Amino acid sequence: MTVSSSNPVLDNISSSYISSTSASAEAEETLGREEFLTLLVAQLENQDPLNPQEGTDFTAQLAEYSQLEQLMNLNGSIEGMADAFQTGSEGDGLQYIGKEVTGNIDSLHVSEGSVTSGFYNMTSAGDVIVDIYDSSGNKVDRLYNGQQAAGGQLVTWDGTDSTGKAVKDGTYTYVVMANYGNGYEQVKTSVTGTVDGVTYNDGTPYLVVQGVLMSLEDLTSVTELNSDSDTESIMDYLGQSVKSKAPIVLLEDGEVYGQDLGFELDEVEDVTISVYDAYDELVNTITVKADELEEGANTVHWNGLNSNGTQMNDGLYYYTVKTESGKSIPTEAAGEVTAIKNVNNSQYLVVGESGRLVALSTVDEIY
C-alpha cells in the first residue's frame, strides 16, 4: 500500500520507512498496522493549515486502514483455525470407536491417587509377579499376584511404592513375569478388543479397550468390523454356554442390571472390590471383612453410587477383587447366553442369571 501526500515532512517519513524496509531482508513488504497509524498521525500533525488534506482523501485512507484491520484479523483467525485443526487431527482417537484393535500395553497412569489398569495374557495357569518402574527405569514396586488362570488378566496397582508411600502423578511401566512350572518368564501384555470409548490424559488420547487404556502409539492392528456379520454371529451365541474373565456391569435406570457382583475365594480373607467406569476411572471401593465371606462363591452388592454417595450415570462398568494379602481374584462370568443387549450401539451377551454383560472379543470359552 502506498500513502502519498503533498506535505514534504510526510513524504520524508514515508521515504525513510520504505528505504529501511527494502534494506532489511527480515522486514515485511507491506505497511503494518502500527506503521500506518504513525504515518496517518504524522500527516495530520504536519499538514499545511492553509491547504489541509481534502476530506475525501482522508476518508479514503481511513477506509484503507479499516480494510487492513479486517484482513489482519481474518488472517489471524484462519491461522488459528488451521492450528486448531492440525492439533485436533493429530492422533484423533474417535475414529477408532467401534473398531477392533490390538495393541501392546505396558503402562499405568497415576493421577491424583487414581491409577489406570494394565493387562496381560496367560498362556496357562501360573504364578505371577508384576514389577512396576518409573519414567527413569527405577523399580518402585513389586506385586505378588499369586496363582492366575489362563487368559486375559488385569494389572491393578494402588499407586504406592514398596514402602507404602504414594507415588507422584505420571506414567509408569510394568513387566509381568509368570512361572508356568519351569521358572519365571516374561508375559505378553497385548490386548485385543473393540474400542468402547476415548479418554484423554494430559491432552493425549487413549482408547478404552476391555476396560484398560491403550495409547495410539501402541496399536499393532486395526480391524473394521462389519455390523451385519456381527449381528448374525452374535445371535448364534443364544442358548450356548460361554465363559469370560472380563464381565461388564450395566447400570440402567440407576440400578445394577442383574445380580450382585460375584467372585470365588479359595481361602477366606478380607477383600477389596474396586468398581471402575468405562474410562478406567475408579468409581467406588468396597471392603468386605473375612467373617462376612466364605470359601467358594460370594457376592457383594453395589448400589450404583460412587465413593461420595453420588448416583453414577447409566452406562458400563467393571470391577476387580483383591485380597488383603494382595492376591487378585478372578471375576469371571460363566453360563448360558440368555439374551443379547444393545448398549451405546454395541451388542453384548447377557450371561446366565448373573445379568453380567460380555463382549464377544472377551469370550474365553464356549462349552
Q: pLDDT tens across 255-302, in order?
A: 898 889 999 999 999 999 999 987 778 899 999 999 999 999 999 999
Band the pLDDT of 362: cuts 50, 70, 90: confident
Tell me, yes or no, whether 318 lies in a domain.
Answer: yes
The cell for 3 is 500513502
Task: Identify the bridge partners of residue 109 per DSSP, sorted by sequence position.
Answer: 171
Kindly state whether residue 2 falls inside one of the protein's structural domains: no
Residue 1 lies in a domain: no
126 Cβ neighbours under 8 A, 6+ residues apart: 147, 148, 178, 179, 180, 181
Scanning the structure block, which residue is given the C-alpha cell 504414594? 166
Q: Domain boundary residue among 193, 223, 253? A: 223
pLDDT in tens, 213-259: 787 877 877 776 554 444 446 778 888 899 888 889 999 888 898 88
Same domain for 258 and 207: no
Statement to judge: residues 56 and 105 lie in one domain? no
Mean pLDDT in residue range 329-349? 84
Q: How many domains does the chain have?
A: 3
What is the C-alpha to C-alpha distance for residues 79 and 325, in angstroms, rounded to an integer?
57
pLDDT of residue 3: 45
In this structure, the answer to whether residues 290 and 320 fall within a common structural domain is: yes
203 and 253 in a single domain? The answer is no
Tell me, yes or no, whether 348 and 270 share the same domain.
yes
Q: Does residue 293 share a domain with residue 261?
A: yes
Q: Is residue 312 domain-shared with residue 339, that is, in the same domain?
A: yes
Q: Do residues 216 and 298 share a domain? A: no
Question: Residue 72: is its pLDDT beyond 70?
Answer: no
Per-residue pLDDT, 8: 46
Choose the final residue of a domain: 223, 248, 263: 223
For residue 366, the model assigns a pLDDT of 87
CATH of the domain at 237: 2.60.40.4070
Residue 350: inside a domain: yes
Give the model's pLDDT for residue 132. 95
Identify the residue with better confidence: 68 or 203: 203
Boundaries of domain holding 113: 94-223
237 located within any domain: yes
- Is residue 33 domain-resident? yes
Cα-Cα-Cα-Cα dihedral sign, residues 151, 273, 174, 108: positive
pLDDT at 176 over 80: yes
Angle at 264 between CA 261 and CA 265, to 5 degrees: 130
When pLDDT is averaged across residues 180-196 and rounded to a whole number, the result is 84
Shared domain for 28 and 55, answered yes or no, is: yes
In a shared domain, residues 215 and 231? no
From the list 167, 116, 298, 314, the residue with the least C-alpha distance to 286 is 298
Q: How far apart are the first and last CA of the chain?
A: 82
The pLDDT, as a whole number, for residue 224 is 67
Q: Are 323 and 293 in contact (CB under 8 A)?
A: no
pLDDT value of residue 89:
40
> Is residue 172 domain-resident?
yes
Examine residue 103 and state whether it is found in any structural domain, yes or no: yes
Do 105 and 139 fall into the same domain? yes
Q: Which of 223, 241, 265 is the C-terminal boundary of a domain?
A: 223
Residue 55: per-residue pLDDT: 52
Query: In the predicted model, what is the mean pLDDT of residues 111-126?
Result: 83
What stretches of 175-278 show up as alpha helix (H) in DSSP? 227-235
- Rounded distance between C-alpha atoms, residue 364 and residue 94, angstroms: 28
The sheet carrying 346-351 orders its strands as 356-358, 346-351, 333-343, 241-244, 363-366
**Which segment of 7-11, 135-139, 296-300, 357-361 scores lowest on mean pLDDT?**
7-11
